[in-house]
Structures are given as C-alpha cells and as structure tokens.
Amino acid sequence: MLGDILPIKYGKGLASKNRVESGSVPVYGSSGIVGMHDESLIPGPSLIVGRKGTVGAVHFSSGPSWPIDTTYYVTSTPDTNLRFFDYLLSSLDLRNLDRSTAIPGLSRPDYEGIHVPIPPFPEQRRIVAEIEKQFTRLDASVAALRRAQANLKRYRASVLRAACSGELAPTEAELARAEGREYEPADVLLERILAQRRARWESLEKRRGKYKEPAAPDTSNLPPLPEGWVWVTVDSLIIESLANGRSVKTASGGFPVLRLTALQDGQINQNEFKTGAWTAEEAKPFLIQEGDFFVSRGNGSINLVGLGGIVGPVEMPVAYPDTLIRLRLHPEVVLNFFGQVWNSATIRHQVESTARTTAGIHKVNQQDISMCVVPLPPLAEQQRIVAEVERRLSVIQQAEAVVEASLQRAERLRQSILKRAFAGELAPQDPDDEPASVLLERIRAQREAEQTAASAGKKRPARRRRTKTSA
C-alpha cells in the first residue's frame, strides 16, 4: 500500500500576508505554486499532493519549498525515487478519492490504503529514464501542435482583417472596370439605407420629437478604404433602435432566456439558456428573431466584452437578457459580412478602447455600440467577401479539428505510457535487482526506528521527590 512506502505529511499554513514574495522558496498550494517565501518548510526535493481544492494534483519540487495546509507532502529519502512516485501518483487519478460534499478533499487513510505495484529500486530508475525519454518526444510533438494551433488562430484573424480591408476578394470597382459595366458604390447604398431609415421613422404612428440623423463617422484614425467602400457608424445600418434585454431571476419551469455563454464563435447557440421567473407574455417584447445580432454588454475579460453573434433559424421561443444588446440591421447589409467585420481586430480595438471597468467587469453600452465605425462595401462585394471568408474558415476549422484530435491522441498516449510503465512493460527487468520486498522491509524498519526515537524524545524524565529534613 502507498502508506507503507510513501506516507504523506500535512503541509503547514502560511497566510499570504506572512509570505516574503521577494524570496526564492516556492510556496505550494493544491493547484501548484501560489507564491514565494524566504524560508522553507522542506529543505530538499519533495512531492506535493493536493489535499483540499485541487484534489490529488501532484507537483514535484526539486529544491526547498513550503507546502501550505491545503496539501500533503512527501520528502526524498535514499530509498525513495521521487520521480518514480511522481509519475505513479499522476497515473492513479487521485481525484476519484474525493468523498466530500462541499470543498473537494483527499483523506490520508484513503490515500495510504491504495494498493500499488512497486518494482525494485534499480528498476524504478530505469522506468523513470524510459518514461522521460518517451515523454520528451511526446512533448516535442505536443509543442509543435500548439504552435500549429497558434498559427491557425493568427491566420483566422488575418482572414477577418483582410475581409475588412478589401484584400480578400476582387472589389466591385475592379470587376466593373474589367467587365466594362457600371456598379453601385457603397455611398449610394448608404444613401438608400438612410432614406429608408427616415421613411420608416416617419411611418410610425407614435413618433417622438424630431428625426435624428445618424452621426457622421470619425475616420481620422482609420485607414483608407478600397474604391467604392465607405466608413459608416453602426447607427446608420440599423432599422430599429438598439435594445437591451431584461434582467430575470432564474426560476424552475419558467420561460427560456439566453445565457451570456450563448455567444459562441460569432453565432447564438439557442440551446444555451436558463429558465427565468417571467411569463410568456412578459417575455414577448424580448423574443429573439432570426437575423438578430447580439453584442455582449460586459465581461470580466476585456477580450470578451462586445463580442457579437448572429441568430440563425429560431428553434423555439427564447428571450434575451440584459447582458446582451440587440441590433437589427437593414436588409441590404449582409448579416454574415457584418458579423465577420464586427468580430475582427478592426472593430475589437474600437470596442475595447471605449469599454469602462466597474468592479472588475468591462462594460459597453448602446451608445458605444451605435458609434462604432465599420467598413461598408457595395452589396455584391459583401456577398463575395462572405463566401471567401467562409471558404477559408472552413479550411481552418478542419485543420483545427485535426490538431485537436492529435492533441487528444497525445494525451491518451501519455496515459498509455504510464500504464505500461507501472505494469512492468516499459523498462527491462533484471533478476539481479534487490527484490522490492526487501526494499519495503528496510523502509518499514527505518520508519519504526524513527517512530521509536521520536517517542523516546517525547518522554519526560520523572520528577525527583524532595525529602523532608528534620529541623
């Protein structure tokens, strides 16, 4: 059992305020290094095992360290190959021993009662050497796959950037000249959109105040656009005012309302919803429609605030919450083109620069969104750009799927290597090795001697009685 050969000890608490962060000694919690200190609890190499929180996580420290009280630890001895046990414990998936109902926890009796195969000490060294040789090759392959992932992410961003700058497909102006025909530039398209926008407002039965023309875009810090394109504000392209959803408390059996996590890869996942404490009639003004575009109002990460997603065919009645801002675009703005542009670096810079931070949450509002400036190409060119972006993104998605599958295979191979190692199938065995049973007896004898010495040290000498003397 593990308790016979690798008994664990409790770490010792060390509050953040008492640590010396300029020190050189790592402080370990159950999830790994959580700070630094100038003193060590353990002077040499050790294994740290998560006791509370990240249960069963195993960390190897090659030098002095301080494991805090959410951990157990094991120190190095002449008869303990810590690297061997590092790999052994990692293969056991100690998380399965968690029996707690609140904070995850690992009990020492559960840990020490695990039966494990222990090879002779020299074979432990051979196993470690073979594991590390194979893991080195595997790590190199995984690193190459991670680089491929990063390159695909950069390529995806470059495709969207090119879509915003007219570099992805032939422009309508170029094609018109080559084909000897006329074309409608985007400024004419914009005039028609604005005229229809005003006419729609004038047709409303309940109009308030004077019609307000959309503000002209500030293009002073924006790059020049291809021939036939124009910069416009979002406000110029919408047919209805921007709208926030409604804040609704979660209630069992209530009306479906989207979660913020419904925003996924430029789309709205309609299966990401909770049930809110409102009726179908109360939810009616906030129902999503096919073709709606939603933008996240706030997020703890600046990289996620203001991201947008398109609503596809509506599968069931579902409302949108106050964490999302709804846009309804003019039909002559190709929705997929707008979505591609909105989530590109060109617009991300504008959104992130206008976001405000409150209590650690980055937020944008309707005014911020409506004043964002986006490029508008001629209608036919929007459609060509969408087709080219989707073609390239499809290739990227296929490549990303291949890379992800390869990473998963690498992880399975890592577990297979460990499984073979602790089944005696990875390294050669030597009949001249000292049997593991002898090793266990020696460890047991050493521990008993240590316990006897410790017990003797705790015994206090008996007090001598004072004798009375006669006067």
Q: Is the pLDDT of residue 180 over 50?
A: yes
230 in the same domain as 94 = no
**Average pLDDT value for residue range 124-135:** 94
Residue 401 confidence class, pLDDT cut points 50, 70, 90: very high
Do 91 and 225 reside in the same domain of the chain? no
Please report which confidence band the pLDDT of residue 321 belongs to, taking 50, 70 and 90 as the band edges: very high
Residue 208 has pLDDT above 90, yes or no: no
pLDDT, position 55: 86
| Residue 243 belongs to some domain of the structure | yes
331 in any annotated domain? yes
- Model confidence over 289-315: pLDDT tens digits? 999 999 999 888 888 889 999 999 998
pLDDT at 167: 92
In a domain, 46, yes or no: yes
CA atoms of 234 and 253, how far apart (whole Å): 37
pLDDT at residue 101 in the model: 60
Which domain CATH number covers 354?
3.90.220.20
Indicate whether 302 belongs to any domain.
yes
Q: Which of 170, 161, 327, 340 is nearest to 233 (CA)?
A: 327
Same domain, 294 and 188: yes
Give the number of domains in the chain.
2
Q: Are residues 361 and 445 in the same domain?
A: no
For 83-97, the pLDDT digits (tens) are 999 999 888 888 877
pLDDT at 129: 95
Per DSSP, what are the bridge partners of residue 245? none
Mean pLDDT for 279-284 is: 92
Is residue 73 predicted with pLDDT exceeding 60?
A: yes
Structure tokens given for 102 = 């609140």
Task: Write the DSSP symbol of residue 65.
Answer: B
CA distances to 243, 346, 372 from 211, in Å: 18, 30, 21
Are 447 and 364 contained in the same domain?
no
Measured distance CA(391)–CA(261) in Å, rounded:
26
Element (DSSP H or E) covering residue 264 = strand 263-264
Within 8 A by CB and 6+ apart from 375, the residues are 164, 165, 166, 225, 229, 230, 231, 232, 341, 346
Residue entry with tokens 């703890």: 300
Tell me the CA distances in angstroms from 158 to 57, 69, 146, 344, 428, one per residue in order. 39, 48, 18, 9, 51
User: Would you state the pLDDT for residue 471?
Assistant: 41
Could you report how far apart the first and last alpha carbons of the chain are, in Å? 67
**Containing structural domain, residue 252:** 184-203+215-377
Nearest to 256 by CA among 286, 217, 222, 297: 286
Q: Is residue 155 part of a domain?
A: no
Asked if 81 and 194 sit in the same domain, the reply is no
Please give the pLDDT value at position 460: 59
d(CA 55, CA 69): 13
Beta strands in 330-378 (DSSP E): 356-358, 361-363, 373-376
Residues 191 and 67 in one domain: no
pLDDT interval class at 467 (50, 70, 90): low
Same domain, 448 and 322: no
Tell me which of 377, 412, 445 is where a domain ends. Answer: 377
pLDDT over 50 at 470, yes or no: no
Residue 256 φ/ψ region, left for φ over 0, alpha for ψ in the -120 to 50 degree band, beta for the rest:
beta
Does pLDDT of 466 surpass 60? no
Is residue 465's pLDDT more than 60?
no
In a domain, 132, yes or no: no
Element (H, E) at 92: helix 82-92
Better pLDDT: 435 or 325? 325
Assigned domain for 189 exists? yes
- pLDDT tens readout for residues 212-229: 889 889 888 888 999 999
> In terms of domains, do 295 and 443 share one?
no
Q: Across all residues in the chain, what is the average pLDDT?
A: 89
Q: pLDDT by residue (tens digit) across 93-129? A: 888 777 766 677 888 888 888 888 888 889 999 999 9
Say yes or no: 63 and 190 in one domain: no
Give yes or no for a contact between 258 and 251, defined as CB atoms under 8 angstroms apart. Answer: no
Choose one of 332, 353, 377: the last residue of a domain: 377
What are the tens digits of pLDDT across the range 17-69?
999 999 999 999 999 999 999 999 999 999 999 998 888 899 999 999 999 99
Q: Supply the pTM of this predicted model.
A: 0.77
- Strand ranges inside 31-162, DSSP E: 32-37, 46-50, 58-61, 66-67, 71-75
Q: Within a domain: residue 413? A: no
Q: 429 is written with which tokens?
A: 């065995």
Could you tell me the CA-to-CA distances from 111 to 83, 256, 422, 443 in Å, in that order? Answer: 18, 45, 18, 18
233 and 339 fall within a common domain = yes
Show which of 356, 377, 398 is a domain's final residue. Answer: 377
Residue keyed to tokens 């690498």? 410
